[in-house]
Homo-oligomer: A and B are copies of this chain.
Amino acid sequence: MSLPPTDPSSVHGLSLKRVAIDTYRENVAYLHRDCAVYRAEGFQALAKVQVRANGKTILATLNVVDDESIVGCDELGVSEDAFAQLALANGHPASVSQAEPPESIPALFRKINGERLTREDFAAIVRDIAGHRYSKIELTAFVVACNRSELDREEVYFLTEAMVASGRRLDWQEQLVVDKHCIGGIPGNRTSMLVVPIVAAYGLVFPKTSSRAITSPAGTADTMEVLANVELPFDQLIGIVRKHHGCLAWGGTADLSPADDVLISVERPLAIDSPGQMVASILSKKIAAGATHLVLDIPIGPTAKVRSMPEAQKLRRLFEYVAQRLHLSLDVVITDGRQPIGRGVGPVLEARDVMQVLENHPDAPDDLRQKSLRLAGRIIECSPDVRGGDGFRIARDILDSGRALAQMQAIIAAQGTRNFDHKHPALGVLTLDVKAECGGVVVGIDNLQMARIARMAGAPKVQGGGVDLFVKLGDTVAMGDVLYRIHASYPADLEFAHQAADRFNGFSIGSADQLPQVFVEF
C-alpha cells in the first residue's frame, strides 16, 4: 500500500493568534472546545500537537479553551514563546495535527526504567530538549531518572557532549581561551568580577558569561548588572572580548548549551543538583563558549554544597574525567567554603565589595581579594610563559597597580555603564540590625541561612536588598554587637527577612576551639 503524500490528520483553515500568556519555555497551543478540528481529530487535553504555518513546524502542548475572547472556533492560539518561534503575524493561516511523540521518547522510557543509555540516545534526547519538544512532564522524568548515581561517568560524558552540540559553539581562533567557574553555594563569592579584569589585563582571552541567580541571592550576572549592561547582543559580546580580552555578560543571549537552560527550569523547583547534572551543565557551557582551559572552584564547608573532602575528591574526578574526554584542560581548586566571601550578600552590596577590592580601598574585604588573586594566579599560570607559582604575584601586581581597575572600567564602558556610585551605593533604605545574643567567638555562619535571609530581603530582584556582614568566622563579639544588617526596599520583604532571622540568625557563637577546620588548597 502506498502512503498518502500528506499527513491525513493535518487540518488547515485556522487562523494563527498570539495568546499573550508567558508559559515559561513551554510551547502551548490553545484550541476552542467547539473547534471542528478539536472534535474531529479526537485531540486529548495536554496532548502534543504539531503547529504548522508558512512552512515552519513547532511542537506544542494542547490546552482546551471555552472562551471565544481567548481563541475563537476558527483560531489556533499559541503562547508567547511559540508565537515568537513562528515569527508570523496574527491571522496567518495555520494548521494543527496530532504530533508523533519526540523521536527520543523510547530512550527516555528506557532511562526511566533504569537502563544505561548510549551516546546516540543522549544525543537524541538532548536534541529534543533543546528543540522544545519535551513537555514539563517528560523533562522532569528525564531529570529525576538521571538523578543520584543513575548516570555512570561515561553517560555524563555523553550527556555533556550532547549538550554542547545542542547550541552554538564559539571558536576564538586562539591557542588559549581561559575561563573560571564555581559550583556555587557560597554567598558573596563574586571572584569572577575580579579575576576577569586581572586576567584580561594580563592579556589572556577570557569570555566569561554568567548566569543569573537560580536559588542564590545574586549571580555574577545580577551583580555585574549593577555596574553595566549585561544583556548584550551576541555580536557585541564577541567584539568586546576581541577588544578587551574579557567580558562579564549574561550568557542567555549566546545560545550556549541551550538544553541546559531548559533542564534548569525543572531542576530548580526540585532542588536537584546531582553530580552528573552539575558536571554536564557547567562543562557544556564552558566548552560551548570556546574555553580551552578552565579553573574550577569547589568550596567545601559544613553548609557548602560539598561537605567533606572525600566528596569533593569524587566530584573532582568526575569533572576531570569528562573534561579530559572533551579535550578541555581543567584545574580544580578546592577552597574554603565555611562562610560567605566578602561582606555583602545581594547585588548592590556585592558590587560595592568588588569595587573596593579593585580600588585597593582600606575597607576592602581581604578574603575576597585573596581568593580572587589566587584564582587569577592559577589562570595566569595556564599561559606557557608563566612558571608555576608565579601567577599569584603577577595577579597581585596587576591589582595593586590599578591596571585591573582600569581594565574593569573599560569593560564596563564597552558593555554600557550603569549609574552606580560604589562609595554611596543605593542600598535598601529599610534596615534591621541583627545582634549577638551572647558574647564569644563567631564559630559558624550558615551559608544557606544567610542566602535565605538575603533572598527574603528582596535580592536579587531588588538590587539594593540583602545582608551586610559586620563580623566573620573567628571574630570576637560581645552580647548586643551587630552581626549583620538587613537591607530591604519593601516593608513586606523586611518583615519576611526579619521572621527568617528570628527563627535562626545563621550565626553560632562559641569558643575558638569550636571553629570548624577544613583542609583546602588555599
Copies in the complex: 2
Inter-chain contact B40/A490, CB cutoff 8 Å: yes
**Distance to closest chain B CB from A509 (angstroms):** 19
How many whole Å from A505's CB to the nearest CB in chain B? Answer: 11
- Complex interface bits, A70-108 against B, C-beta within 8 A gives 1, otherwise 0: 100000000010000000000000000000000000000
Instruction: Establish whether residues A19 and B112, one from each chain, have CB atoms under 8 Å apart when the complex forms.
Output: no
B23 and A63 contact, CB distance less than 8 A: yes
Assess the A138–B270 pair: CB atoms within 8 A. Answer: yes
User: For residue A98, which residue of chain B has the nearest CB?
Assistant: B496
Chain B nearest CB, measured from A14 CB (Å): 16
Interface check A9, CB cutoff 8 A: yes
Q: Which residues of B contact A498 (CB under 8 A)?
A: 1
Q: Is the CB of A9 within 8 A of B496?
A: yes
A145 within 8 Å of B (CB atoms): yes
Interface residue? A4 (CB, 8 A): yes
- The proximity string for A residues 476-497 relative to B, scoring 1 for CB distances below 8 Å and 0 otherwise, is 0000000000000011110110
Q: A63 touches which one: B1, B22, B30, B42 (CB < 8 A)? A: B22
The proximity string for A residues 26-50 relative to B, scoring 1 for CB distances below 8 Å and 0 otherwise, is 0000100100000011100110000
Check B137 against A64 for contact (C-beta < 8 Å). Answer: no
Q: Does A109 contact B (CB under 8 A)?
A: yes
Taking CB atoms, residues of chain B closer than 8 Å to A45 are 22, 24
How many residues on the A side are at the interface (Cβ–Cβ under 8 A)? 59
Q: Are B147 and A458 in contact (CB under 8 A)?
A: no
Q: Which of B9, B135, B140, B458 has a CB less than 8 Å from the CB of A42?
A: B458
Cβ contacts under 8 Å, A112 to chain B: 144, 147, 270, 272
Does A513 count as interface, using CB distance less than 8 angstroms?
no
Closest B residue to A492 by CB, please name it: B8
- Assembly CA distance A269 to B63 (angstroms): 15
**In the complex, what residues of B have CB within 8 A of residue A41's CB?**
492
Which of A1-20 touch B at CB < 8 Å? Answer: 1, 3-4, 8-9, 19-20
Q: Considering the complex, which residues of chain A in the window 144-175 have a beta carbon less than 8 Å from any beta carbon of chain B?
A: 144-145, 147-148
Q: How far is the CB of A454 from chain B (nearest CB, A)?
A: 13
A396 touches B (CB below 8 Å): no
Closest residue to A460 on the B side, CB-wise? Answer: B42
How many Å lie between the Cα of A492 and that of B43 in the bound state? 13
Judged by a CB distance under 8 angstroms, whether A421 is at the interface is: no
Q: Say whether, besides A63-B21, A461-B42, A114 and B148 are in contact (CB < 8 Å).
A: yes
Query: Does the CB pair B65–A20 fall under 8 Å?
Result: yes
Tell me the complex Cα distance, A381–B265, Å: 55
> Are A462 and B67 touching (Cβ within 8 A)?
no
CB-based contact B33/A496 at 8 Å: no
A521: Cβ under 8 A from any B Cβ: no
CA distance A257 to B121 in the complex (A): 37
Q: Please encode chain A, from 491 to 517, with 1 for each CB lying within 8 Å of some chain B CB and 0 for all others.
A: 111011011001000000000000000
> Given A22-B45, A114-B148, 7 more contacts at CB 8 Å?
A8-B491, A24-B45, A42-B493, A46-B265, A136-B140, A137-B266, A137-B270
**Cross-chain pairs A/B with CB under 8 angstroms, 13 sampled:** A1-B498, A4-B495, A9-B496, A19-B70, A21-B64, A21-B67, A22-B63, A24-B45, A46-B265, A69-B69, A112-B272, A141-B143, A141-B270
Q: Which 5 A-B pairs have the closest CB atoms?
A: A20-B67, A20-B66, A140-B140, A144-B144, A8-B492
